[in-house]
Structure 1
C-alpha cells in the first residue's frame, strides 16, 4: 500500500515553511519505502506484492498455489493474479521475457538463476539486491538476498 499524506491534512500539523516546501514539490509526501501509485499499478509491481503476500507458504515441487509453490509456480501465480500470463517453467519464462541488464533491472522484474545457458531457478526482484522466491524443498516463500552473480533479468511485457 502507498502511504500518502496530502498537503491539506498537513496544515494542522506542519509549519508554514514545511507546507510551502510540500506544495513546491507537488503536494504529496511518500512515507519511506512506499511505492509511488503509478509504479504500484503496474502488473510487475502487483505481482511483486502478491508474491510478498505469500511469505511463509511452503515449497512443493510442481505447485502453483494458492498455498504451496515451487519457484516458477510462485511467479506464474503472482503474475496471473496481476493480469499477466507466464509459461510454467523458469526456462520458459526466461525465453518469454524481455531481457534487461542488471543496471536496468527494476522491482518486479524476474530474476533467473542459471548455470551456463540453463535456467534453473526464478524469483521476483524486490529491490536492494533481494528477491521473493520459493527456494527448495523444506523451505518457504521468503525475501532473500541474491546469492550469486550468475543471474539474468527479465521484464514481463
Structure 2
C-alpha cells in the first residue's frame, strides 16, 4: 500500500530523482506551443499560485454549493471582468410538460389537488402525491365497508402508477 502523499510531494520526489529539482526552487516550465500560434511562456509557479490563491480564499466556506458558485463567479470575473448577478429575477415559465407529467397532473387535479398549477415546482407535485397516497392508502381504511375499501384501493393504484410514471419520466 502506498502512503497518502500530495501531488506536490510526488512531483518533488520525481523531479529530485531526475535531477531537475535543486535547492527547493521550482523550475520554469513552459507550455508547448505550435509555430502557428505562439504563446508566451507561463511558469508552472504562476499557475499553481493562481489556483492556490483562489482555493485559499474559498477554503473557509463549508458548503460545497457556496464554494462552486463562488468559484464559478471568480472564473466569470477572470474571463469577463464582471460577476453574474445572483439576484436576477427569473419570471416563471410554463413547464415543458411531457406526456407522463400531463397524466400525473390530470390525476392530481381529478383527485382534488386544485392548489397546483402549471407553474408548481416538483416539490409541490411530490407533496400533493404523498398527501393523496396517504388519504387513499388501503391501510388507512380499517373498519370501513368492503366496497369503499375496494374503490379506494383502485384509486390508490391509479395514483401510485401515475406517480411512478412521473418519477420515471423526470428522474426526480
Structure number with greater CO (CA < 8 Å, separation at least 6) is: 1
Q: Which TM-score band applies after superposition, normalised by the shorter structure?
A: under 0.3
Flag the structure with higher strand content: 1
Flag the structure with higher helix content: 2
Normalized against structure 1, the TM-score is what? 0.21
Normalized against structure 2, the TM-score is what? 0.20
Larger radius of gyration: 2
